[in-house]
Structure 1
Amino acid sequence: MNPMSICTSSSSSSSSTGSSSSSTKAWIVHGVVVGAAVAVALGAHAYLALTRSAKFRSRVVGIIPARFASSRFQGKPLVQILGKPMIQRTWERAKMATTLDQVVVATDDEKIAECCRGFGADVIMTSESCQNGTERCNEALEKLEKKYDVVVNIQGDEPLIEPEVIDGIVKALQAAPDAVFSTAVTSLKPEDAFDPNRVKCVVDTRGYAVYFSRGLIPYNKSGKVNPHFPYLLHLGIQSYDTKFLKIYPKLPPTPLQLEEDLEQLKVLENGYKMKVIKVNHEAHGVDTPEDVEKIERFMRESNWS
């Protein structure tokens, strides 16, 4: 990883350590035999025709939505992570993914835009009225000159995201034509079980999302963490079929979405399918200013540059 100040940028690319990268290369699609599942949904003939087509969801763009105003952490995209803005660290990680044809930053703030242009990122200016990252991705997509089949929403507050995780959710969506959305989960640490900033997820036996919550799910009768249960932590990264992304902003808010303040629930409540992969990833999201010190300590201990 490469350090830099808020708006004086160095254009050097980041490099991850061998240990960090190798730990996530073993990503697996969680609990699913993709061929059998999709064949049931579409019919074997249609499924085989789709999977034979090299053009199916082949054009992929990565978009990093970034806004300056935040109730929990004002100016978060520009916060320094070992001397470099967090948004640059995220962009550099995304550029390493092999499935992305282009990576852009979508923002409504000129300070963020200027900083990103300084380290070489493509920037799309979006309106302040976007309610969440998904809507910001949709607006940015409409302003791009090229047409894409898949959009990857790369959360800017996960600056150590592994390129293999990005590639994993793209390939999962390409392999599941009955899904319009894909995302990733990893193992939940017991100490994060009741942290509302750590979103939990449950999936069915075919690897499709059942529910997301800020509370602990599943929740047992004892009200305590079961040390033997494989709880799942949702990673913020997600990808969408672009046809669905154009529909998403027009869908009215849903009760569960509003109550949990989780945009993924609007997808599920409207009956759309979401593919989930489980990855081995050390999640280091930055939700509050206190998280910056934690992530910098981890990077030093892991010899990240």
Structure 2
Amino acid sequence: MSVLAVIPARYGSTRFPGKPLAKIAGQMMVERVWRIAAAADGVDRVVVATDDQRIVDAVQAAGGEAVMTDENCRNGTERALDALNRLESDAEIIINVQGDAPLIPPWVIGDVATTLRDNPDMPMATPAVALPADTEARMRVDKANGSASGTTVVFDKTLRAMYFSKNVIPFRRKPETGAPVYQHIGLYGYRRDTLQQLVDLEPTPLELTESLEQLRAMENGIPIQVVLTDYRGRSAWSVDSPEDATRVEDIIKREGELV
């Protein structure tokens, strides 16, 4: 069962134009993500899906594979499907890896790939990590102050997702008691027919309310399996601005390279 990892990488960014090509500790961000995905267990092929020839050229020069996709793709999900079709790949499992997440550990990608390989009836999977109490407390303060950063998830006893939210869920009626809080990691694995189905579906009310695309799947009855993983002491940080790139450099200097 072949697994294709697709890294959507759009050149245009209001806050950070050319973000995929930005150098982080001497290496392009998109190259970092490509190398991490290539090091993940269970991944057979990795391709960068982009709308800009400069990214294609840079990835190929670094030894990676890239494909041009339709510039009108509205999101990474559509770009992943477009890449799959253009490559004429026979992959049964597609892992959508965010191109602005240069600190995602390869074992997290591998956990999702392995879960889908081992469970052929599972249409979709995504990882989550348990939040330490101090991190949860900081997130609750940030949310109270209007932050939209960070997504949490609740799931049933079989680890099937029940809901994702930009709020911290579950609500704690009594501080420091009750179920753990799990932060969702924005990485998705799909069966190829599930990916096609999601792109064909119209946006849904909860998806539009929370600005969380995975809610489209849930509102249409597509089950999402949560894969519990951990960062093994590594820090997580995504890149939305040049300041974030500097923060990631500092983390790499402190913790070392992932691959």
Q: TM-score, normalised by structure 2?
A: 0.88
Q: Which residue identity is paired with 2:38?
A: K
1:228 Cα deviation after fit: 6.6
Q: Which amino acid aligns with 1:270?
A: N
Give 3-state SS (helix, strand or coil) of 2:237's partner: coil
Partner amino acid, structure 2, of 1:204: D
1:157 CA displacement? 1.4
Deviations 1:18-42 (A, max 9, x none): xxxxxxxxxxxxxxxxxxxxxxxxx
Confirm or deny: 8 A CA contact 1:158 1:285 kept in the other structure: yes
Which residue number in structure 1 is paired with residue 42 of structure 2? 99
Do 2:172 and 2:178's aligned partners in 1 also have CA atoms closer than 8 Å? no
* SS at 1:179 equivalent: coil
CA RMSD in angstroms comes to: 1.9
Cα distance in structure 2, aligned partners of 1:244 and 1:98: 22
Aligned to 2:243: 290
CA contact (8 A) 1:179 1:272 kept: no
- Give, as a single letter, the amino acid of the residue that structure 1 aligns with 2:248: I
CA apart distance, 1:284: 2.1
SS of 1:256's equivalent? helix
Q: What residue in structure 1 maps to residue 195 of structure 2? A: 245
Displacement after TM superposition at 1:107 (Å): 0.4
Structure 1, 109-118 or 191-200: larger mean CA deviation: 191-200
Q: Identify the residue that residue 211 of structure 1 maps to in structure 2.
A: 163
Match of 1:279 in 2: 229
The number of equivalent residue pairs is: 246
Do residues 134 (structure 1) and 81 (structure 2) align? Answer: no
1:173 to 116, 121, 146: 116
Aligned residue number for residue 181 of structure 2: 231
Counterpart CA distance in 1 for 2:257 and 2:127 is 23
Note if contact 1:198-1:214 (Cα within 8 Å) is conserved in structure 2. yes
Asked if residue 192 in structure 1 is aligned to residue 135 in structure 2, the reply is: no
Alpha-carbon shift at residue 77 of structure 1 (Å)? 1.4
Choose 71-80 or 87-96, whichever is displaced more. Answer: 71-80
Alignment CA distance shift 1:244-1:218 (3 Å): same
Shift of 1:99: 0.9
2:17 and 2:167 map into 1 onto residues whose CA distance is: 25
CA separation of 1:79 and 1:141: change in aligned 2, threshold 3 A:
same
Determine the C-alpha separation between the residues in 1 that align with 2:3 and 2:47.
12
- State whether residues 139 and 168 of structure 2, in contact with CA within 8 Å, keep that contact through their aligned partners in structure 1: no
Farther-moved stretch of structure 1 (183-192 vs 161-170): 183-192
Unaligned 5+ runs, structure 2: none
Query: SS state of the match for residue 117, structure 1?
Result: helix
Q: What letter matches 2:67 in structure 1? A: I
> Which amino acid in structure 2 is aligned with residue 192 of structure 1?
M
Give, as a single letter, the amino acid of the residue that structure 2 aligns with 1:256.
Answer: L
| Structure 1 residue 226 displacement after superposition | 4.0
Q: CA deviation at 1:76?
A: 2.0
**Secondary structure of the corresponding residue to residue 248 of structure 1:** helix
Please, which of 8, 15, 28 is the counterpart of residue 85 of structure 1?
A: 28
CA drift of 1:227 comes to: 7.3
Q: Is 1:178–1:273's contact at 8 Å kept on the other side of the alignment?
A: no
* CA deviation map 1:198-228 (0-9, x unaligned): 1111111110111111121112357xx7477
Q: Which residue of 2 aligns with 1:43?
A: none
Q: Of 86, 92, 105, which aligns to 1:143?
A: 86
Q: Secondary structure at the match of 2:249?
A: helix
Per-residue CA deviations over 1:77-102 (Å, capped at 9, x if unaligned) read 12221121110100011111131111
Q: For 1:84 and 1:124, how far apart are their aligned partners in 2?
A: 20
Find the partner of 1:268 among 207, 218, 242: 218
How does the TM-score come out when normalised to structure 1?
0.75
